[in-house]
Protein backbone atom coordinates (compact mmCIF):
# COMPACT_ATOMS: atom_id res chain seq x y z
CA UNK A 1 0.00 0.00 0.00
CA UNK A 2 1.28 3.47 -0.84
CA UNK A 3 2.24 5.41 2.26
CA UNK A 4 1.70 9.11 2.74
CA UNK A 5 2.97 11.56 5.37
CA UNK A 6 2.00 10.70 8.97
CA UNK A 7 -1.28 12.27 10.08
CA UNK A 8 -1.05 14.99 12.71
CA UNK A 9 -4.67 16.18 12.65
CA UNK A 10 -7.32 13.49 12.16
CA UNK A 11 -10.16 16.01 11.99
CA UNK A 12 -8.94 17.79 8.85
CA UNK A 13 -6.31 15.51 7.31
CA UNK A 14 -7.32 11.89 7.95
CA UNK A 15 -5.79 8.98 6.05
CA UNK A 16 -7.71 5.71 5.88
CA UNK A 17 -4.53 3.90 4.83
CA UNK A 18 -2.54 5.08 7.85
CA UNK A 19 -0.95 1.97 9.33
CA UNK A 20 -2.14 2.50 12.92
CA UNK A 21 -5.65 3.30 11.66
CA UNK A 22 -5.82 0.13 9.60
CA UNK A 23 -4.65 -1.92 12.59
CA UNK A 24 -6.88 -0.26 15.19
CA UNK A 25 -9.32 2.39 13.94
CA UNK A 26 -11.67 2.23 16.94
CA UNK A 27 -10.01 4.82 19.26
CA UNK A 28 -9.81 7.24 16.32
CA UNK A 29 -13.56 7.04 15.71
CA UNK A 30 -14.27 7.46 19.44
CA UNK A 31 -12.13 10.60 19.47
CA UNK A 32 -13.63 11.98 16.24
CA UNK A 33 -17.18 11.39 17.46
CA UNK A 34 -16.31 13.57 20.47
CA UNK A 35 -14.42 16.39 18.77
CA UNK A 36 -15.42 16.41 15.08
CA UNK A 37 -18.00 13.78 14.07
CA UNK A 38 -17.45 14.37 10.34
CA UNK A 39 -13.74 14.55 9.56
CA UNK A 40 -12.30 15.66 6.24
CA UNK A 41 -9.15 15.29 4.22
CA UNK A 42 -7.53 16.44 1.00
CA UNK A 43 -5.37 13.37 0.68
CA UNK A 44 -6.17 11.42 -2.49
CA UNK A 45 -8.86 13.98 -3.29
CA UNK A 46 -11.21 15.82 -0.94
CA UNK A 47 -13.23 13.44 1.19
CA UNK A 48 -15.49 13.41 4.27
CA UNK A 49 -15.61 10.77 6.99
CA UNK A 50 -18.72 10.63 9.20
CA UNK A 51 -18.40 8.60 12.41
CA UNK A 52 -21.85 8.60 14.04
CA UNK A 53 -24.69 6.18 13.36
CA UNK A 54 -27.17 9.01 12.76
CA UNK A 55 -24.96 10.74 10.16
CA UNK A 56 -23.85 7.59 8.33
CA UNK A 57 -27.40 6.25 7.96
CA UNK A 58 -28.88 9.65 6.99
CA UNK A 59 -26.18 10.15 4.35
CA UNK A 60 -26.59 6.61 3.01
CA UNK A 61 -30.28 7.28 2.42
CA UNK A 62 -29.78 10.57 0.57
CA UNK A 63 -29.26 9.20 -2.93
CA UNK A 64 -30.07 12.54 -4.49
CA UNK A 65 -27.02 14.38 -3.15
CA UNK A 66 -24.74 11.37 -2.76
CA UNK A 67 -24.38 9.25 -5.86
CA UNK A 68 -23.05 5.72 -6.20
CA UNK A 69 -21.35 6.63 -9.47
CA UNK A 70 -18.07 6.23 -7.59
CA UNK A 71 -18.10 3.91 -4.62
CA UNK A 72 -14.32 3.36 -4.37
CA UNK A 73 -12.78 4.51 -1.12
CA UNK A 74 -9.42 4.78 -2.91
CA UNK A 75 -9.50 5.94 -6.53
CA UNK A 76 -7.17 4.30 -8.95
CA UNK A 77 -8.76 4.61 -12.37
CA UNK A 78 -10.76 7.64 -13.47
CA UNK A 79 -14.40 6.69 -14.00
CA UNK A 80 -14.49 7.66 -17.66
CA UNK A 81 -11.28 5.75 -18.31
CA UNK A 82 -13.29 2.57 -18.50
CA UNK A 83 -14.94 2.52 -21.92
CA UNK A 84 -15.92 -1.17 -21.80
CA UNK A 85 -18.08 -1.39 -18.68
CA UNK A 86 -20.71 1.05 -19.95
CA UNK A 87 -23.09 0.14 -17.12
CA UNK A 88 -20.38 0.15 -14.44
CA UNK A 89 -20.87 -2.61 -11.86
CA UNK A 90 -24.61 -2.45 -11.22
CA UNK A 91 -26.37 -2.29 -8.87
CA UNK A 92 -23.58 -1.10 -6.56
CA UNK A 93 -22.17 1.66 -8.78
CA UNK A 94 -25.52 2.84 -10.08
CA UNK A 95 -28.34 5.13 -9.01
CA UNK A 96 -32.01 4.53 -9.85
CA UNK A 97 -33.39 3.56 -12.34
CA UNK A 98 -30.47 1.29 -13.40
CA UNK A 99 -29.98 0.35 -9.77
CA UNK A 100 -33.58 -0.80 -9.31
CA UNK A 101 -33.87 -3.45 -12.04
CA UNK A 102 -30.33 -4.80 -11.75
CA UNK A 103 -30.77 -5.30 -8.00
CA UNK A 104 -34.12 -7.01 -8.61
CA UNK A 105 -32.41 -9.49 -10.97
CA UNK A 106 -29.74 -10.42 -8.42
CA UNK A 107 -31.79 -10.67 -5.21
CA UNK A 108 -33.46 -14.08 -5.82
CA UNK A 109 -29.99 -15.66 -6.10
CA UNK A 110 -29.32 -14.75 -2.48
CA UNK A 111 -32.71 -15.47 -0.90
CA UNK A 112 -32.85 -17.50 2.35
CA UNK A 113 -34.17 -20.52 0.47
CA UNK A 114 -31.47 -20.47 -2.16
CA UNK A 115 -28.69 -19.77 0.32
CA UNK A 116 -29.80 -22.85 2.27
CA UNK A 117 -28.97 -24.95 -0.79
CA UNK A 118 -25.35 -23.70 -0.69
CA UNK A 119 -24.91 -24.61 2.98
CA UNK A 120 -23.95 -28.32 2.64
CA UNK A 121 -21.15 -27.57 0.17
CA UNK A 122 -19.94 -24.67 2.36
CA UNK A 123 -19.88 -26.97 5.40
CA UNK A 124 -17.97 -29.69 3.57
CA UNK A 125 -15.52 -27.14 2.21
CA UNK A 126 -14.83 -25.59 5.64
CA UNK A 127 -14.37 -29.03 7.18
CA UNK A 128 -11.86 -30.13 4.58
CA UNK A 129 -9.92 -26.86 4.83
CA UNK A 130 -9.40 -27.28 8.59
CA UNK A 131 -8.78 -31.02 8.44
CA UNK A 132 -5.72 -30.31 6.31
CA UNK A 133 -4.14 -28.47 9.27
CA UNK A 134 -5.13 -30.65 12.22
CA UNK A 135 -1.96 -32.69 12.19
CA UNK A 136 0.29 -29.63 12.11
CA UNK A 137 -1.76 -28.11 14.95
CA UNK A 138 -1.54 -24.62 13.50
CA UNK A 139 -2.73 -22.62 10.51
CA UNK A 140 -2.89 -19.18 9.03
CA UNK A 141 -6.60 -18.68 9.78
CA UNK A 142 -6.79 -15.78 7.30
CA UNK A 143 -4.88 -17.04 4.26
CA UNK A 144 -5.37 -20.78 4.65
CA UNK A 145 -8.96 -20.77 5.92
CA UNK A 146 -11.08 -17.58 5.71
CA UNK A 147 -9.69 -16.56 2.32
CA UNK A 148 -10.40 -19.94 0.79
CA UNK A 149 -14.13 -20.08 1.55
CA UNK A 150 -16.13 -17.30 -0.19
CA UNK A 151 -14.33 -17.54 -3.52
CA UNK A 152 -15.34 -21.18 -3.84
CA UNK A 153 -18.95 -20.58 -2.77
CA UNK A 154 -19.41 -17.66 -5.17
CA UNK A 155 -17.59 -19.67 -7.82
CA UNK A 156 -20.25 -22.37 -7.52
CA UNK A 157 -23.03 -19.79 -7.91
CA UNK A 158 -21.39 -18.30 -10.99
CA UNK A 159 -20.37 -21.68 -12.36
CA UNK A 160 -16.60 -21.17 -12.07
CA UNK A 161 -14.36 -24.21 -11.59
CA UNK A 162 -12.68 -24.65 -8.21
CA UNK A 163 -9.18 -24.86 -9.71
CA UNK A 164 -9.42 -21.15 -10.47
CA UNK A 165 -10.15 -20.13 -6.88
CA UNK A 166 -6.64 -18.84 -6.17
CA UNK A 167 -6.49 -16.94 -9.46
CA UNK A 168 -9.77 -15.20 -8.65
CA UNK A 169 -8.70 -14.44 -5.09
CA UNK A 170 -5.58 -12.76 -6.51
CA UNK A 171 -7.64 -10.68 -8.95
CA UNK A 172 -10.12 -9.57 -6.31
CA UNK A 173 -7.26 -8.55 -4.00
CA UNK A 174 -5.74 -6.58 -6.88
CA UNK A 175 -8.97 -4.62 -7.24
CA UNK A 176 -9.87 -3.98 -3.60
CA UNK A 177 -6.83 -4.40 -1.38
CA UNK A 178 -4.36 -2.76 -3.74
CA UNK A 179 -6.74 -0.05 -4.97
CA UNK A 180 -3.99 2.56 -4.83
CA UNK A 181 -1.88 0.66 -7.38
CA UNK A 182 -3.42 1.33 -10.83
CA UNK A 183 -1.48 -1.50 -12.47
CA UNK A 184 -2.76 -4.08 -10.03
CA UNK A 185 -6.31 -2.77 -10.30
CA UNK A 186 -6.13 -3.00 -14.08
CA UNK A 187 -4.71 -6.51 -13.92
CA UNK A 188 -7.47 -7.63 -11.54
CA UNK A 189 -10.31 -6.01 -13.47
CA UNK A 190 -9.11 -7.30 -16.83
CA UNK A 191 -8.53 -10.78 -15.41
CA UNK A 192 -12.01 -11.05 -13.92
CA UNK A 193 -13.66 -9.23 -16.82
CA UNK A 194 -12.18 -11.29 -19.66
CA UNK A 195 -12.71 -14.53 -17.80
CA UNK A 196 -16.38 -13.82 -17.11
CA UNK A 197 -16.90 -12.48 -20.64
CA UNK A 198 -15.74 -15.84 -22.05
CA UNK A 199 -18.07 -17.71 -19.69
CA UNK A 200 -20.99 -15.47 -20.70
CA UNK A 201 -20.32 -16.24 -24.37
CA UNK A 202 -20.15 -19.97 -23.66
CA UNK A 203 -23.53 -19.89 -21.98
CA UNK A 204 -25.30 -18.34 -24.93
CA UNK A 205 -25.53 -21.81 -26.43
CA UNK A 206 -25.02 -24.14 -23.46
CA UNK A 207 -27.65 -24.44 -20.74
CA UNK A 208 -26.67 -24.23 -17.09
CA UNK A 209 -28.18 -23.65 -13.69
CA UNK A 210 -26.11 -20.62 -12.76
CA UNK A 211 -26.45 -16.87 -12.45
CA UNK A 212 -24.80 -16.08 -15.79
CA UNK A 213 -27.14 -18.36 -17.72
CA UNK A 214 -30.13 -16.85 -15.93
CA UNK A 215 -29.07 -13.29 -16.74
CA UNK A 216 -28.58 -14.21 -20.40
CA UNK A 217 -32.02 -15.74 -20.73
CA UNK A 218 -34.14 -13.36 -18.69
CA UNK A 219 -35.75 -10.13 -19.83
CA UNK A 220 -36.60 -6.77 -18.32
CA UNK A 221 -39.89 -5.34 -19.55
CA UNK A 222 -39.74 -7.58 -22.60
CA UNK A 223 -36.15 -6.67 -23.55
CA UNK A 224 -33.11 -8.92 -23.08
CA UNK A 225 -30.48 -7.62 -20.67
CA UNK A 226 -27.61 -5.86 -22.42
CA UNK A 227 -24.38 -7.89 -22.45
CA UNK A 228 -22.42 -5.15 -20.71
CA UNK A 229 -24.97 -4.97 -17.88
CA UNK A 230 -24.65 -8.76 -17.46
CA UNK A 231 -20.87 -8.49 -17.39
CA UNK A 232 -21.00 -5.65 -14.85
CA UNK A 233 -23.35 -7.59 -12.57
CA UNK A 234 -21.22 -10.74 -12.84
CA UNK A 235 -18.01 -8.87 -11.97
CA UNK A 236 -19.73 -7.19 -9.02
CA UNK A 237 -21.02 -10.49 -7.66
CA UNK A 238 -17.48 -11.82 -7.76
CA UNK A 239 -15.90 -8.78 -6.16
CA UNK A 240 -18.63 -8.00 -3.60
CA UNK A 241 -18.85 -11.48 -2.15
CA UNK A 242 -15.22 -12.43 -1.68
CA UNK A 243 -12.99 -9.94 0.14
CA UNK A 244 -15.90 -8.83 2.32
CA UNK A 245 -16.89 -12.24 3.63
CA UNK A 246 -13.38 -13.56 4.12
CA UNK A 247 -12.54 -10.39 6.08
CA UNK A 248 -15.55 -10.95 8.34
CA UNK A 249 -14.58 -14.60 8.92
CA UNK A 250 -10.94 -13.62 9.58
CA UNK A 251 -11.81 -10.82 12.03
CA UNK A 252 -14.18 -13.14 13.89
CA UNK A 253 -11.48 -15.78 14.24
CA UNK A 254 -9.04 -13.08 15.39
CA UNK A 255 -11.58 -12.11 18.06
CA UNK A 256 -12.03 -15.70 19.23
CA UNK A 257 -8.26 -16.28 19.25
CA UNK A 258 -7.81 -13.27 21.52
CA UNK A 259 -10.92 -13.55 23.75
CA UNK A 260 -10.93 -16.90 25.53
CA UNK A 261 -14.24 -16.31 27.30
CA UNK A 262 -16.17 -15.74 24.09
CA UNK A 263 -14.49 -18.69 22.39
CA UNK A 264 -15.23 -20.95 25.33
CA UNK A 265 -18.85 -19.77 25.56
CA UNK A 266 -19.47 -20.42 21.87
CA UNK A 267 -18.14 -23.94 22.29
CA UNK A 268 -20.29 -24.73 25.33
CA UNK A 269 -23.35 -22.67 24.27
CA UNK A 270 -23.56 -23.14 20.49
CA UNK A 271 -27.10 -21.75 20.58
CA UNK A 272 -25.44 -18.33 20.89
CA UNK A 273 -24.06 -18.60 17.37
CA UNK A 274 -26.73 -16.44 15.71
CA UNK A 275 -26.35 -13.49 18.09
CA UNK A 276 -22.56 -13.96 18.04
CA UNK A 277 -22.49 -13.71 14.25
CA UNK A 278 -24.45 -10.44 14.36
CA UNK A 279 -22.25 -9.06 17.10
CA UNK A 280 -19.03 -9.96 15.29
CA UNK A 281 -20.42 -8.33 12.14
CA UNK A 282 -21.26 -5.23 14.15
CA UNK A 283 -17.96 -4.97 15.96
CA UNK A 284 -15.71 -5.81 13.00
CA UNK A 285 -17.80 -4.56 10.09
CA UNK A 286 -15.37 -4.85 7.20
CA UNK A 287 -16.88 -2.57 4.54
CA UNK A 288 -16.66 1.20 4.00
CA UNK A 289 -18.30 2.52 0.82
CA UNK A 290 -17.91 5.84 -0.95
CA UNK A 291 -20.32 8.24 -2.61
CA UNK A 292 -19.78 11.16 -4.97
CA UNK A 293 -21.31 14.47 -3.84
CA UNK A 294 -23.60 15.54 -6.71
CA UNK A 295 -24.13 19.20 -5.76
CA UNK A 296 -22.79 21.63 -3.16
CA UNK A 297 -24.55 20.89 0.11
CA UNK A 298 -24.06 21.73 3.77
CA UNK A 299 -24.56 18.71 5.97
CA UNK A 300 -24.41 19.22 9.74
CA UNK A 301 -22.20 22.27 9.27
CA UNK A 302 -19.89 20.62 6.74
CA UNK A 303 -19.62 22.46 3.40
CA UNK A 304 -19.52 19.53 0.99
CA UNK A 305 -18.76 20.42 -2.61
CA UNK A 306 -19.86 18.81 -5.83
CA UNK A 307 -17.29 16.16 -6.72
CA UNK A 308 -16.10 15.57 -3.13
CA UNK A 309 -16.02 12.02 -1.90
CA UNK A 310 -18.11 10.90 1.04
CA UNK A 311 -17.04 7.79 2.92
CA UNK A 312 -19.96 5.84 4.34
CA UNK A 313 -18.21 4.66 7.46
CA UNK A 314 -20.53 1.78 8.41
CA UNK A 315 -17.88 0.27 10.73
CA UNK A 316 -17.73 3.47 12.83
CA UNK A 317 -21.53 3.78 12.92
CA UNK A 318 -21.58 0.30 14.46
CA UNK A 319 -19.37 1.47 17.32
CA UNK A 320 -21.45 4.55 18.18
CA UNK A 321 -22.11 4.45 21.96
CA UNK A 322 -25.28 6.52 21.59
CA UNK A 323 -26.87 3.58 19.74
CA UNK A 324 -25.08 0.50 21.12
CA UNK A 325 -24.68 -0.09 24.81
CA UNK A 326 -20.95 -0.53 25.58
CA UNK A 327 -20.30 -0.22 21.86
CA UNK A 328 -16.62 -1.09 22.13
CA UNK A 329 -17.32 -4.37 23.90
CA UNK A 330 -18.15 -7.53 22.01
CA UNK A 331 -21.15 -9.18 23.68
CA UNK A 332 -21.91 -12.38 21.83
CA UNK A 333 -25.38 -12.58 23.39
CA UNK A 334 -26.33 -8.97 22.50
CA UNK A 335 -30.08 -8.96 21.87
CA UNK A 336 -30.75 -5.56 20.32
CA UNK A 337 -28.36 -5.12 17.42
CA UNK A 338 -29.46 -2.91 14.53
CA UNK A 339 -25.97 -2.81 13.05
CA UNK A 340 -25.23 -1.49 9.56
CA UNK A 341 -22.39 -3.79 8.56
CA UNK A 342 -24.40 -4.54 5.41
CA UNK A 343 -25.09 -0.87 4.73
CA UNK A 344 -28.30 1.10 4.92
CA UNK A 345 -30.78 2.37 2.34
CA UNK A 346 -31.36 1.21 -1.22
CA UNK A 347 -27.88 -0.32 -1.66
CA UNK A 348 -28.10 -2.51 1.44
CA UNK A 349 -26.11 -5.67 0.78
CA UNK A 350 -27.85 -8.02 -1.64
CA UNK A 351 -25.77 -10.95 -0.42
CA UNK A 352 -26.28 -10.62 3.34
CA UNK A 353 -28.05 -14.01 3.69
CA UNK A 354 -25.15 -15.69 1.97
CA UNK A 355 -22.55 -13.78 3.99
CA UNK A 356 -24.26 -14.68 7.28
CA UNK A 357 -24.48 -18.35 6.33
CA UNK A 358 -20.80 -18.49 5.34
CA UNK A 359 -19.70 -16.76 8.55
CA UNK A 360 -21.84 -19.01 10.77
CA UNK A 361 -20.78 -22.23 9.05
CA UNK A 362 -17.11 -21.20 8.97
CA UNK A 363 -17.14 -20.58 12.74
CA UNK A 364 -19.19 -23.69 13.56
CA UNK A 365 -16.94 -26.02 11.58
CA UNK A 366 -13.80 -24.41 12.97
CA UNK A 367 -14.92 -24.57 16.61
CA UNK A 368 -16.12 -28.12 16.25
CA UNK A 369 -12.65 -29.27 15.21
CA UNK A 370 -10.50 -26.65 16.93
CA UNK A 371 -12.30 -25.59 20.13
CA UNK A 372 -9.14 -24.12 21.66
CA UNK A 373 -6.74 -21.88 19.75
CA UNK A 374 -4.74 -18.70 20.22
CA UNK A 375 -2.54 -16.35 18.23
CA UNK A 376 0.93 -17.68 17.47
CA UNK A 377 2.35 -14.16 17.83
CA UNK A 378 0.15 -11.08 18.21
CA UNK A 379 2.83 -8.87 16.63
CA UNK A 380 2.70 -10.97 13.50
CA UNK A 381 -0.95 -10.32 12.54
CA UNK A 382 -1.30 -8.34 9.32
CA UNK A 383 -4.39 -6.21 8.65
CA UNK A 384 -5.61 -4.74 5.36
CA UNK A 385 -7.86 -1.67 5.30
CA UNK A 386 -9.34 1.02 3.09
CA UNK A 387 -12.52 -0.27 1.46
CA UNK A 388 -12.47 -3.63 3.24
CA UNK A 389 -10.80 -4.22 6.61
CA UNK A 390 -9.73 -7.64 7.79
CA UNK A 391 -6.71 -9.75 8.73
CA UNK A 392 -4.54 -11.00 5.87
CA UNK A 393 -2.13 -13.02 8.01
CA UNK A 394 -3.42 -14.64 11.17
CA UNK A 395 -1.24 -17.47 12.43
CA UNK A 396 -2.95 -19.44 15.17
CA UNK A 397 -1.86 -22.42 17.25
CA UNK A 398 -4.42 -25.08 18.16
CA UNK A 399 -4.92 -26.01 21.85
C1 LIG B 1 -19.67 -10.06 5.53
C2 LIG B 1 -19.77 -9.94 4.22
C3 LIG B 1 -20.34 -8.74 3.53
C4 LIG B 1 -20.42 -7.45 3.95
C5 LIG B 1 -19.96 -6.86 5.27
C6 LIG B 1 -21.06 -6.69 2.88
C7 LIG B 1 -21.33 -5.34 2.95
C8 LIG B 1 -21.99 -4.64 1.96
C9 LIG B 1 -22.32 -3.24 2.06
C10 LIG B 1 -21.93 -2.33 3.22
C11 LIG B 1 -23.01 -2.91 0.95
C12 LIG B 1 -23.63 -1.54 0.65
C13 LIG B 1 -22.90 -0.83 -0.42
C14 LIG B 1 -23.29 0.62 -0.55
O15 LIG B 1 -24.04 1.18 0.25
O16 LIG B 1 -22.78 1.23 -1.50
C17 LIG B 1 -23.09 -4.09 0.13
C18 LIG B 1 -23.71 -4.15 -1.11
C19 LIG B 1 -23.75 -5.29 -1.89
N20 LIG B 1 -23.29 -6.55 -1.56
FE21 LIG B 1 -22.43 -7.06 0.17
N22 LIG B 1 -21.35 -7.54 1.86
C23 LIG B 1 -20.93 -8.80 2.20
C24 LIG B 1 -21.06 -9.96 1.45
C25 LIG B 1 -21.66 -10.02 0.23
C26 LIG B 1 -21.87 -11.25 -0.50
C27 LIG B 1 -21.49 -12.66 -0.03
C28 LIG B 1 -22.45 -10.91 -1.67
C29 LIG B 1 -22.85 -11.86 -2.75
C30 LIG B 1 -22.45 -11.78 -3.94
C31 LIG B 1 -22.65 -9.47 -1.67
C32 LIG B 1 -23.23 -8.74 -2.67
C33 LIG B 1 -23.54 -7.39 -2.60
C34 LIG B 1 -24.19 -6.66 -3.67
C35 LIG B 1 -24.64 -7.23 -5.01
C36 LIG B 1 -24.33 -5.34 -3.22
C37 LIG B 1 -24.92 -4.16 -3.98
C38 LIG B 1 -26.34 -3.91 -3.57
C39 LIG B 1 -26.93 -2.67 -4.19
O40 LIG B 1 -26.18 -1.81 -4.66
O41 LIG B 1 -28.16 -2.58 -4.24
N42 LIG B 1 -22.16 -8.97 -0.49
N43 LIG B 1 -22.48 -5.15 0.78
Total-model pTM = 0.95
Q: Tell me: the pLDDT tens digits for 298-346?
A: 999 999 999 999 999 999 999 999 999 999 999 999 999 999 999 999 9
pLDDT surpassing 70 at residue 204: yes
Rounded to whole angstroms, how far apart are CA atoms 316 and 328? 10
Ligand 1, atom nearest to 354 Cα: 27
Whole-number pLDDT of residue 239: 87
Span 31-56, mean pLDDT? 96
pLDDT of residue 78: 55
**Ligand 1 mean position to 256 CA, how many Å?**
24
Q: What is the pLDDT of residues 101-146, one digit of tens each?
A: 999 999 999 999 999 999 999 999 999 999 999 999 999 999 999 9
Q: Which atom of ligand 1 is nearest to the CA of 355?
A: 27
- Report pLDDT for 195: 93
**Cβ < 6 Å from ligand 1: which residues?**
60, 68, 71, 91-92, 103, 106, 110, 154, 236-237, 240-241, 244-245, 248, 286-287, 289, 312, 314, 341-343, 347, 349-351, 354-355
Amino acid sequence: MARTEPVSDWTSDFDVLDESYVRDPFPRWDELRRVCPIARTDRRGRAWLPTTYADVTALAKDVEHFSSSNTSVIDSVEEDENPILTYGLPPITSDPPLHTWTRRLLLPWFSHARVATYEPMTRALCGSLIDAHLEAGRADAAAEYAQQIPVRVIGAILGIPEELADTFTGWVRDVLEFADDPQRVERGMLGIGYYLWDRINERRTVDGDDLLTYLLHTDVEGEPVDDMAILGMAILTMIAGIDTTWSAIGSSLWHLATHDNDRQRLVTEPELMDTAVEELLRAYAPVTMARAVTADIEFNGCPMKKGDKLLLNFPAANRDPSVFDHADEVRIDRQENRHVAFGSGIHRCAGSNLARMELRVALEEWLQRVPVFHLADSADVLWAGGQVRGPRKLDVVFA
